[in-house]
Amino acid sequence: DEFVGCYRTLARTLSEMLRTWEVQPGELVVDVTGATPAMAGALTLATLSLSSRIVSLVPAREGQEEDRIDLAGQPFIWTQGNPWDEAASISRREGCELFNRRLFAAAAKLFREVEARVSGGQKPLYRAFADLADGYDLWERFHYRQAWEKLKTAVKAFEMASLWGGPPGLTSLLPAIKTNAGFLEKLVLDPAPVKDMQAHDLLAHAGRRLHGLHDSESAMVALLRSLEAFAQRQLFKQYQIKTWDLQPEQLPQALQEVCRSCWLEDLDGKYKLPLQAQFRTLAGLGDQMGQAFLREWPTMKPLLDAANHAVLGHGFEPVKAERVQQLYDVVIKLAGVSEASLPKFPILHL
């Protein structure tokens, strides 16, 4: 009863008081000197989200001379501990679960809260976890350079942490993160106007949206963009055609008049190739990818029609996951890529 009564009183009043004082997580030091076990337990529980240290004055034993304090003629010493140093592993697993569910921003927030609460020696580890989650969150939003920087920072911190032990499984996680950082490095440092690895990343992004988040609409949008990116890559690398700024004379003869009459963009006055026209251009130039597109067209036509009728396309019907998967398989075949060549985000079991 004493514990419940103490906790009820603290829960009703302390939270608002600390909010008024603008106490941030990790800033609170709790002194339980003289408290009964019930009072100390209630105070610890009520302040757990904000505290990073619990201190208490206890009678000094014989031989304990350092930092002694005399009170009423009796010697005392300060003892201290941080419950978060032990509780952090539970929050770390919760953060890893958020990460594995692709909720990177939520994972980063949780890891930073733990960083603020644990003692100094553990702070770099949880800062690295937060940087890792931030990096993949940035990657999912196509901020490649910032994502690359975050992943590099996290790798260095994890390597340092692994020298001192770190959580089990940390060392085995590093190769996957380094592989991802290497992929981002190639993408970021590619100076070409059509980046070589962009299409691969868009295709992988579509796969994560479809299989990880079960978001068929967003997956279809990313998938169509990846399909276009593969065509743009081929047109630029092999024929120096920029689909967003071309001259009709660069196209096969059969498409030049259509280009002049239909593909002039009002916004900037440049000729731009639509998605299907990009592949028909490749086919007209004798390119294998274009020829493959013509062969796959009967299969692709109803799938592209479903994409057009999707809510994020041009219609009002939610697209079905199986339609996205079918088109995904066609894009894999059309682009001549394998699943193994696509970047894969790690799974955290730490």
- pLDDT at site 83: 79
Residue 295 has pLDDT above 90, yes or no: yes
Predicted TM-score (pTM) of this structure: 0.85
Domain boundaries of the chain, sorted by first residue: 3-81, 86-189, 196-341
Half-sphere exposure of 165 (CA within 13 A, CB side): 3
Band (pLDDT 50/70/90 cuts) for residue 112 is very high
- pLDDT at site 51: 79
- pLDDT at site 1: 65
- Listed in sequence order, the residues at least 6 apart from 347 whose beta carbon sits closer than 8 Å to its beta carbon are 100
Whether the CB-CB separation of 299 and 327 falls below 8 Å is answered with no
> C-alpha distances in angstroms, 307 versus 46, 280, 332?
52, 19, 17
Residue 281 has pLDDT above 70, yes or no: yes
- pLDDT at site 190: 96
- pLDDT at site 257: 95
User: Looking at the domain covering 86-189, what would its CATH class be?
Assistant: mainly alpha
Tens-place pLDDT, residues 175-196: 999 999 999 999 999 999 999 9
Whether the CB-CB separation of 81 and 330 falls below 8 Å is answered with no
CA 332 centroid distance within chain: 24
Residue 204 has pLDDT above 70, yes or no: yes
Question: Both ends of the chain: CA-CA distance in Å?
Answer: 38
- Listed in sequence order, the residues at least 6 apart from 183 whose beta carbon sits closer than 8 Å to its beta carbon are 197, 201, 343
Tens-place pLDDT, residues 238-261: 999 999 999 999 999 999 999 999
Query: Mean pLDDT lowest for which of 38-52, 119-133, 210-224, 310-324?
Result: 38-52
